[in-house]
């Protein structure tokens, strides 16, 4: 199974900049060992199971709370697809292939 989790998590009570908090959250994701990609709006992590990914969420929240946040917001999206692998790269390749084939091309 391949599960992609896209997560944005940040304090909403501490001024405009959030990069200090995102950086600390990113270290926890890095240490987890799962492949990930940082985007301008979130971090995308890939694992074999939903459990592995949801276990990250409380760790990220606790870290941001320890840094002094009194209110934390998070948006998380999951794309779960049994029987697939390496979708952190594979999904973008599928779209690129569809762009070459056009709207009537075979699905992939």
> Between 19 and 33, whose beta carbon lies closer to its own copies?
19
Residue 58 near residue 98, CB atoms below 8 Å: no
> Between 18 and 34, whose beta carbon lies closer to its own copies?
18
Query: How far is residue 98's CA from residue 70's CA, in Å, rounded to a whole number?
Result: 45
> Between 85 and 97, whose beta carbon lies closer to its own copies?
97
Q: Which residues in this chain contact its own copies in the complex, by CB under 8 A?
A: 4, 6, 8-20, 22-24, 26-27, 37-42, 44, 49-51, 54-55, 57-58, 61-62, 65, 67, 70-83, 87-89, 91-92, 94-95, 97-99, 103, 105, 107-108
Residue 107 near residue 23, CB atoms below 8 Å: no
Distance of alpha carbon 25 from its chain centroid, rounded? 11
Residue 44 near residue 86, CB atoms below 8 Å: no
- Which one-letter DSSP state was computed for residue 46? E
Find the shortest distance in angstroms from Cβ 46 to its own copies.
8
Find the shortest distance in angstroms from Cβ 86 to its own copies.
10
């Amino acid at each position: 199974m391949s599960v992609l989790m896209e997560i944005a998590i940040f304090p909403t009570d501490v001024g405009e900049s959030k990069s200090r908090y995102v950086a600390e959250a990113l270290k926890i994701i890095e240490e987890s060992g799962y492949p990930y990609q940082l985007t301008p709006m979130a971090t995308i992590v890939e694992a074999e199971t939903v459990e592995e990914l949801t276990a990250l969420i409380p760790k990220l929240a606790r870290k941001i709370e320890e840094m002094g946040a009194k209110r934390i917001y998070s948006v998380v999206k999951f794309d779960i697809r049994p029987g697939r692998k390496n979708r952190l790269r594979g999904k973008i390749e599928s779209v690129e292939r569809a762009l070459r084939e056009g709207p009537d091309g075979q699905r992939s």
